[in-house]
Structure 1
């Protein structure tokens, strides 16, 4: 069940952002928040997946509106955009975002999130070495699936 308090907070932040930017507040834009924020926190979705999900629920919304709204959500800090290898852009909600890195399976395409304090130590050390305040980083590890009976790999092989 989605956290309605979280969704309402995201909508208020987005509304203030749209007003400040001089953009229109349309029901379609707010419906994208509804659908993005009902996903599990660790789920990533692309525009096509979001479009199909919304169409199946009876929304009348275009892919262009979803693209544009997701760009606005990224700009407002309510979504994070990821580009893994040569794949399409994936998005995840960002209101409760805690920095994490990703492992992507080359075989089944499953994305797993992880955090490791050693990465922060490397980030801090590199910042000291380069006399730089490191403000962000992105780490994606790619590997081949060794999970026995992997549901994602089985689904891919069905096609």
Structure 2
């Protein structure tokens, strides 16, 4: 699906959600979708980063509007919220979301996404052991990445 089609689909889902909730459909809310979905699919962003990005592009939007809109986007399934250690919440787009897990470097704080089928095997085994239909999971691995581009200047 082309990027523009994805954004339009996200906006339609959001519009239907807002109508069901009896919430206002404001241009500022839709601009948050535009900017969140303009990011690379594997990018995670916090409210402050999104606020600065939008301000630099000429939007007149408050941090509160961004916070509230991101909460609504999470609620309707258009954004995923992550909390890594004691850092601020980070968000990523969810419409084309394929489940993945994360590695966070303790030094440079860089977030890397990964998928491993063995995790699904563990999830299935634990579901059987606990007699539970496991519907989701979250795995974050923390460690020192020891790669050439790792440095202490990058922060979340």
TM-score, normalised to structure 2, is 0.96
1:61 equivalent to 2:61? Answer yes
- Aligned residue number for residue 95 of structure 2: 95
Report the equivalent of 1:6: 6
Q: Measure how far apart 1:155 and its partner are.
A: 3.5
Equivalent residue, structure 2, for 1:144: 144
The total of aligned residue pairs comes to: 154
Partner in structure 1 of residue 50 of structure 2: 50
Residue 145 of structure 1: how far off its partner (Å):
2.5
User: Following TM superposition, by how much is the alpha carbon of 1:64 offset from its aligned partner in structure 2, in angstroms?
Assistant: 0.3
Q: Distance in 2 between matches of 1:92 and 1:56?
A: 20
The question of whether the paired residues in 1 share the 8 Å contact of 2:45 and 2:90 is answered with yes
TM-score normalised by length of structure 1:
0.94
Post-superposition shift, 1:116? 0.3
Gaps of 5+ in 1: none
Gap regions ≥5 residues in structure 2: none
Give the Å deviation of 1:18.
Answer: 0.2
CA distance in structure 2 between the aligned counterparts of 1:73 and 1:83, rounded to whole angstroms: 16
Distance 1:156 1:43, change over 3 A: closer
Q: Tell me, in whole angstroms, the C-alpha distance in 2 between the residues paired with 1:122 and 1:24.
A: 43
Offset from partner CA, 1:103-150 (integer Å, 9 cap, x none): 000000110000000000000000000000001100000011301243
Partner of 1:105: 105
Residues 60-80 of structure 1, C-alpha deviations (whole Å, 9 max, x = no match): 000000000000000000000
Hey, what does 1:37 align to over in structure 2? 37
2:110 aligned with 1:85: no
Distance of 2:54 and 2:125 partners within structure 1: 45
Deviating beyond 3 angstroms after TM superposition, the runs of 4 or more aligned structure 1 residues are 154-157
What's the offset of the Cα at 1:154?
5.8
Q: Cα RMSD (Å) of the superposition?
A: 1.3
